[in-house]
Amino acid sequence: MASSLTKDAAQQGNPAQGGKTFFGHPRGLATLFMTEMWERFSFYGMKALLPLYLIAPGGMHMPATTATAIYSVYMAMVYLLAMPGGWMADRFWGPRKTVAIGAGVVIAGHITLALPTSASFFAGLILVALGSGLLKANISTMVGHLYDGPEDPRRDGGFTLFYIGINLGAFLAPLSIGTVGEKVNWHFGFTLAAVGMALGLAQFLLGTRHLSAESNVVAQPATPQERASALRKGLIWLIVAAVFYTVLALTGNFANWALMPITIAGLVIPIAVLARMKRDKELTDLEQSKLSGYIWFFVVAAIFWMIYDQNGSTLSIFGENSTTNDLLGFHFPTSWYQSLNPIFIMALAPLVASAWLWLNKRGKEPSTAVKFASSLALIGVSFGVFLIPLIDTAANGGKVSPMWLVAIYFVQTVGELCLSPVGLSVTTKMAPAKYGSQMMGVWFLAVTAGDSVAGLLTSPQLNVDLNTSFSVAVEACLAVLAGVGIWTSRKRVKQMMGSVN
């Protein structure tokens, strides 16, 4: 997206912008917009390549179940690491420095992925997840710093522009990185992802003068004793992990058990965080009630993301093996399917937002519980649609039209719009005052929990193939039944929410 710079910054109450604005917003928004766009470009490009590279004869040549397990655990870790990423900014580096360090780690991760060895590949995945956690947790915070508090009338519009940057990067990545990776060389694709993040980091460093001074502040600086304690605990866990994985390698069990501790952590940590909040005696009765209601939404979101995030694994592998990838005489790479969701988001998000507003003015806007129930019903329907080509290819062989996947991604995107922005909003409304800044991290833990379940199911111990018609049917039924469950409990959930709709 091209910048639109004007001379009215003096009227915007943001002197750091040097007299210019970005579509009427603080000039720093352009810096953060481009940084996030390039970070999402690198992230979604790698995401589009990952499952295909894992199953490709010229790549890792793994079974589909193993590829799905690795992909699911990787996605779970990206969102899990967003919480310690926020903590690092609050206690040690501040948001601005943390984002720069995170971007550098992402670049190092993609470069490591580009090296043609299996050991470097998994090391690269770890680095990209770490860097994404550092960056993702803090760049949105810096967008908020650009405005004069929560009541600034430009604030919502600024986050909308920022959201466009996310989806623009996500849309362009599979078309470029995916094409290079699939058609030229897998490792060149990972290298292109590194180049994208490097461009993002370069313009971020050049544009930091336009950011708010608040983004450089360490909110709660750690004392020297706390720094030493954090370093000591980090080293202990690093040694434990090194010993554990060394033993696995020496006993020949590395492939079977390497993912299990991470998968279990992705399930245990979200539960532990919510349990700790529920046990907090300092919360008022109303805050405890809202937190109980929020747990319903958390569970629904986890089920939703467990199925939804398979668009990059189960659906992508099906696209590679069982669709023609031909449309109107044009043959396209499988990774291009990953561009469908962001383009549908950009097209449908304004329509869905307008629909909620139109219903609200007439007193008919659905409650949050009904919106969440709708999202589960839609994600269940999407896998119901998936059953049709899946059964057809299993019975008759051959390949099906790519329009089946287009239809599935469309239905899933509508479901996402009923859950994701609504979930972000209700999280801020239902958060206990004591945990106001932490609750957004808790929301992302729902993604971690859902992806960890998918990773557990496809682990070598359970070895569930999510590409089979039986597995897809079970997941579709689970989503619909869970949607019916929250819909029938909507009045009870509403009571827990207090005045929040």
Q: Which of 179, 182, 188 is nearest to 110 (CA)?
A: 188
The structure's pTM equals: 0.89
Distance CA 181, CA 45 (A): 9
> How far apart are alpha carbons 129 and 95 in whole angstroms?
18
Q: Are 162 and 29 in contact (CB under 8 A)?
A: yes
User: Count of CB atoms within 10 A of residue 11's CB?
Assistant: 9
Residue 326 pairs with which residues in a beta bridge? 331
Residue located via tokens 């710093």: 145
What is the per-residue pLDDT for 129?
92
pLDDT score at 410: 97
pLDDT score, position 106: 95
Helical residues (DSSP H) of 323-438, grouped into ranges:
340-361, 368-396, 403-430
Question: Domain 19-221 belongs to what topology?
Answer: Growth Hormone; Chain: A; (1.20.1250)
Amino acid at 339: S
Residue 469 has what pLDDT?
Answer: 92
334 neighbors 52 (Cβ within 8 angstroms): yes
Q: How far is it, in rounded angstroms, from Cα 36 to Cα 119?
A: 29
Letter for the amino acid at 364? K
Provide the residue type at 359 as one letter.
Answer: L
Q: Residue 375 and residue 150: Cα distance in Å, rounded?
A: 28
Q: Which amino acid makes up residue 2?
A: A
One-character DSSP codes across 230-273? HHHHHHHHHHHHHHHHHHHHHHT-HHHHSSHHHHHHHHHHHHHH
Return d(Cα 193, Cα 182) in angstroms, integer: 14
Q: Which of 472, 339, 319, 312 is nearest to 403 (CA)?
A: 319
Give residue 39's pLDDT.
92
Tokens linked to 331: 């043959």
Rounded CA-CA distance 274/292 in Å is 10
CA distance 143 to 147: 8
Domain regions of the chain by residue span: 19-221, 225-258, 268-501
The Cα–Cα gap between 13 and 9 comes to 7
> What CATH class does 268-501 carry?
mainly alpha
The pLDDT tens digits along the chain (501 residues) read: 333 333 333 333 443 444 577 777 888 889 999 999 999 999 999 899 999 999 999 899 999 999 999 999 999 999 999 888 888 888 889 899 999 999 999 999 999 999 988 888 889 999 999 999 899 878 888 888 888 866 677 776 787 788 888 899 999 999 999 999 999 999 999 999 999 999 999 999 999 999 988 889 888 888 999 999 999 999 999 899 889 988 988 887 776 788 899 899 999 999 999 999 999 999 999 999 999 999 999 999 999 999 999 999 999 999 999 999 998 889 999 999 999 999 999 999 888 888 988 988 898 889 999 999 999 999 999 999 999 999 999 888 889 999 999 999 999 999 999 998 888 888 878 888 888 767 878 888 999 999 999 999 998 888 888 889 999 999 999 999 999 999 999 999 989 888 776
- CA torsion 383→74→464→257, rounded to 10°? -170
Nearest-CA neighbor of 127 among 31, 65, 193? 193
* CATH fold match for the domains 19-221 and 268-501: yes
Phi first, then psi, for residue 5 (nearest 5°) are -105, 130
Nearest in space to 413 (alpha carbons), one of 176, 74, 171, 72: 171
Give the separation between CA 81 and CA 328, rounded to whole angstroms: 42
- CB atoms closer than 10 angstroms to residue 235: 10
pLDDT at position 150:
63
Q: What kind and span of H or E run contains 485? A: helix 469-488
Strand-pairing partners, residue 26, are 21
CB burial of 170-188 (b: ≥16 within 10 Å; e: otherwise) equals bbbbbbbbbbbbbeeebbe
Residue type, 5: L
Q: Which residues pair with 5 in a beta bridge?
A: 22
